[in-house]
Structure 1
Amino acid sequence: MSKVLNFTRKDFEREQNLGKGLILVDFSANWCGPCKMLEKVLNNLSGRVDYRIARINVDEESELASELKIKSLPSMMILKDGEIIERLTGFMEDDEIEKIVKKVRKRESITNE
């Protein structure tokens, strides 16, 4: 993968209903300093991982953010085959994110065997 996707509510709902594989969804806002720092991390990360990364602007999709109980920024969710399996809050470096994704994958492989 080489690009962070910009998602709308419609994209997120489609991912929940039809999505296959792993996707990291970042909930952020243009005015949020830590979100801008995380944006750089995710842009770099997207070029070297085998899962998709998407961004949702909470100012443009405030209803969705409220429904998903996004209370602080930045927040991220990891979805596997459309199901939310992990929630992350706050700025993280790429190695922290990759560690969590690896743990999620190990947990999935144990439950799917």
Structure 2
Amino acid sequence: MSDRNEIRREKLEELQKKATDGGATEAADNPSEPVHVESGEHLDKLVTEGGAVLVDFYADWCGPCKMLEPVVEELAAETEATVAKVDIDQLQQLAQRYRVQGVPTMFLFADGEQVEQMVGVKQKDKLRSAIEQYA
């Protein structure tokens, strides 16, 4: 339990630092690192801004999610897509809205429309190929 609280504390500090930096990471058209979604409205804004958006629904306690995390970070840095991460424990209603029943679950949006849904750990090449199809 204390590990989860420590992770949340670190994430909160990271978000606060980004806020004091003027949100420079999110201000870029294609952030080079994953964007941590703060609300349903925040996700809606990311999705409707256009282009390809890969949304990773995850949980801190999820082993497969931890395995997928470096892949998601690499895709954010290496592709034109915006990569967003949704913590299902913090944003339960958002996970319910998208009918997420297991993690990791990823959605790919193109020009504001959902084009793919992937459940479980996927290979980097498969994810890159899906992104490039719509980027």
TM-score bracket, normalised by the shorter chain, equals 0.7 to 0.9
Amino acid at match of 2:44: E
Q: What root-mean-square deviation, in Å, do the aligned CA atoms of Structure 1 and Structure 2 show? A: 1.6
Q: Is there any run of 5+ residues in structure 1 with no aligned partner, and where?
A: 107-113
Aligned counterpart for 1:14 among listed residues 27, 35, 45:
45
**Higher deviation after alignment, 93-102 or 50-59:** 93-102
Distance 1:11 1:35 in 2: 22
Kindly indicate which of the two structures has a greater share of residues assigned to helix: 2
| TM-score (norm. length: structure 1) | 0.83
2:102 counterpart residue number: 72
Amino acid at match of 1:74: P
The question of 1:44 aligning with 2:79 is answered no
| TM-score (norm. length: structure 2) | 0.70
**Number of equivalenced pairs:** 104
Aligned counterpart for 2:130 among listed residues 93, 100, 103:
100
How far 1:81 moved relative to its partner? 1.7
Distance 2:66 2:120 in 1: 12
Distance 2:62 2:120 in 1: 11
Query: Runs of at least 4 residues of structure 1 off by over 6 A?
Result: none
Distance 2:130 2:45 in 1: 24
Amino acid at match of 1:42: V
How far 1:15 moved relative to its partner? 3.0
How far 1:32 moved relative to its partner? 0.3
**Higher deviation after alignment, 87-96 or 7-16:** 7-16
Distance 2:76 2:45 in 1: 21
Distance 1:14 1:96 in 2: 26
Kindly indicate which of the two structures has a greater share of residues assigned to strand: 1
Q: Is there any run of 5+ residues in structure 2 with no aligned partner, and where?
A: 1-30
1:84 counterpart residue number: 114
How far 1:56 moved relative to its partner? 0.4
Secondary structure of 1:79's counterpart equals: strand
- Bigger relative contact order, structure 1 or 2, given CA contacts below 8 A and separation 6+? 1
Aligned counterpart for 2:61 among listed residues 26, 31, 34:
31
**What do the CA deviations read for 1:23-54 (whole angstroms, capped 9, x no partner)?**
10000000000001111111122211111111
Instruction: From the CA coordinates, give the structure whose radius of gyration is larger.
Output: 2
Secondary structure of 1:60's counterpart equals: coil
